[in-house]
Amino acid sequence: MDQDGVIVFKGWNLKGGLDLEGHKDLSRQYSINNTAIPDELIYPLVDRSGNVLTALAKTGERVLKGQVIAGSKGVQGTLLHAASSGLVKENEWRMIAHPSGLKSECLIVATDGLDECCPIDEPVDYRQLSAADICEKVHQAGIVGLGGASFPTAIKITPNNVHTIDTLIINGAECEPYITCDDRLMQQYPSEILLGIQVLLRALAIKNCVIGIEEDMPEAIEAIQKAIECSGFNQIQVKVVPAVYPAGGERQLIYLLTGRETPSQGFPVDIGVVCQNVGTVMAVYQAIVKGQVLIERVVTVTGTGINKPQNMWARIGTPIKDLVSQCGGYNGPNERLIMGGLMMGFSLPDDSVGITKATNCILVATSKEVTKSSEAEIQPCIRCGECASVCPVNLLPQQIYWYSQGGAHQKCQSFGLFDCIECGCCDVVCPSHIPLVQYFRASKSKVFLKRREDEAATLAKQRFERRDTRQVQEKVAREQRIRVKKLALVKRQKESVSSSAKMQDKP
């Protein structure tokens, strides 16, 4: 069923994976709705990778839409902009979008409803911009990967001396059940996405681009295909990938589209690939072509627990409850509120949490959806090997689990703990209902903790040794000082003795 110019995969040539029920029809047929300005915008001052952001707007200051209000330092530093105009309140500890369910310091903007904008840059022709200009603008616009990882996009597209990039991969394979935000973006904004791709290709100074879209999104495939024909951007290729989970995992998609394998513990750049999510490309378009900074994104609000599932343009920082009420509210008592997808997302303690740049989906799950091992009794591993047969990374989950539950976290690493993408396939198939992924996450946490402790111990050792050396030096110097003083004293005594002798001699 090859369509014109569209390459369709005949088979799934990636090991493992699952054929999951998509539940995409809950939301994918409705166009993306705009949302009202919430009363409050909530911005946590720490991101999911643990980077701390410094508030750059003062308490009581009136900020405009698009104004920089916080930023993180370091090579991975990013900027955060206010999504509407209003007053900056005193920082508060609020519940944030984090699996811990802990509170964290947040910058809060009480909006004034005026939605007054910062003056925006005159739109420029991207073809006049140098690669460095594009990277700088992308950084200034606060763009990070909107697929979930939140890695700063400017870093990904800044050329370096080590890697030669030859292919740009656009991830439109929205493989997680329920999520349809990228699908809608491709259906509604195909030409904008193509322009965004052109900008990225210019920044990377390459020509080759492949968009990977899952086969169960025919409208998106068609829309992009049509836009390519109209625009004449023929170097952009559409490849249809099978609707198998996790075809949209970065490494999995790259492998499907190029046949190249990202090395374990390595990155796509190591094999000449830069991968961007469709949402990120849209943000790049808005930043470079329209001069707008990243203050809103498309979020799928869905699940059987909500009255009107849909996709919405939501301002970053909007509390989930505002989005839920605009979707007609909850339709009964809900089992779980999940941020992200059913497979890779995490539960939230309540709906006061603000959405972040990484939030692609809010899933209001009822007992129909929550069929995970959480309620089922955990049984011992029977070593059936089911988990290994579905693992897309070719790991032996049962083996990692064995070491993890025994506390041998370091040993887990030699079985590829850090190659695990936490896709959850193994969890789903395990007949013993073992929450494998949670074991792996716990082990990863422990390994990180050990690393931090080792670093702290090395630092403490250095400081202790330096203090020790200093004390020895001080002691030697003190003794030296005393000796010199003594010598001087003896000399003076001698002198006075001899002079008094002379005096005695004189008369």
**466 is in the binding site of which of ligand SF4, other proteins, none (Cβ under 5 to 8 A by kind)?**
other proteins
CA angle in degrees (0–180, nearest 5) for 202-206-209:
95
Minimum Å gap between C-beta 464 and other proteins is 5
Q: How far apart are CA 142 and CA 150, in angstroms?
A: 11
Of the candidates 110, 382, 460, 472, which one interacts with ligand SF4 according to CB under 6 A? 382
**397 is in the binding site of which of other proteins, ligand SF4, none (Cβ under 5 to 8 A by kind)?**
ligand SF4
Residues of this chain, 308-337, that bind ligand SF4 according to CB under 6 A:
none
CB 134 within 8 A of CB 128: no
Residue 313 vs 464, nearer CB to ligand SF4: 464
- Side-chain-side CA neighbours of 119 within 13 Å: the count stands at 2
- Taking the C-alpha atoms of 23, 328, 359 and 364 in order, what is their torsion angle to the nearest 10 degrees? -50
Residue 8 vs 442, nearer CB to ligand SF4: 442
Q: Does 401 bind ligand SF4 (CB under 6 A)?
A: yes
Q: Please, is 158 exposed, middle or buried when counting C-beta atoms within 10 Å of its C-beta (0-12, 13-18, 19+)?
A: middle
Binding residues for other proteins, rule: CB under 8 A, are 46, 50, 52, 96, 98-100, 102, 104, 377-380, 404-405, 434-435, 438-439, 441-442, 444-446, 449, 453, 456-461, 463-469, 473, 476-477, 480-481, 484
Q: Does 488 bind ligand SF4 (CB under 6 A)?
A: no
Minimum Å gap between C-beta 466 and other proteins is 7
Q: Tokens for 246?
A: 């996790």
Q: How far apart are CA 223 and CA 207, in angstroms?
A: 21
456 CB neighbour count, 10 Å cutoff: 10
Report which of 183, 190, 226, 193 is spatially closest to residue 32, judged by C-alpha positions: 183
* Candidate segments 111-119, 217-225, 297-305, 383-391, binder of ligand SF4 by CB under 6 A: 383-391
Q: How far apart are CA 439 and CA 45, in angstroms?
A: 28
Residue 179 vs 217, nearer CB to ligand SF4: 179
Q: How far apart are CA 307 and CA 380, in angstroms?
A: 40
Residue 352 vs 366, nearer CB to other proteins: 352
Minimum Å gap between C-beta 285 and other proteins is 32
Residue 292 vs 373, nearer CB to other proteins: 373
Q: Does 412 bind ligand SF4 (CB under 6 A)?
A: no
**314 is in the binding site of which of other proteins, ligand SF4, none (Cβ under 5 to 8 A by kind)?**
none
Looking up tokens 């990374």 gives 393
**392: preceding bond cis by omega (within 30 degrees):** no
Q: Tokens for 473?
A: 């030096």
- In sequence order, the 6+-apart residues with CB closer than 8 A to the CB of 327 are 301, 306, 307, 308, 309, 310, 312
**202 is in the binding site of which of other proteins, ligand SF4, none (Cβ under 5 to 8 A by kind)?**
none
Residue 83 vs 434, nearer CB to ligand SF4: 434
Residue 401 vs 403, nearer CB to ligand SF4: 401
Bridge partner list, 300? 311, 361
Q: Does 385 bind ligand SF4 (CB under 6 A)?
A: yes
Minimum Å gap between C-beta 425 and other proteins is 17
CB 84 within 8 A of CB 293: no
Using CB under 6 A as the criterion, what x/- string covers residues 425-444 for binding ligand SF4?
A: xx--xxxx-x-xx-------
**98 is in the binding site of which of other proteins, ligand SF4, none (Cβ under 5 to 8 A by kind)?**
other proteins
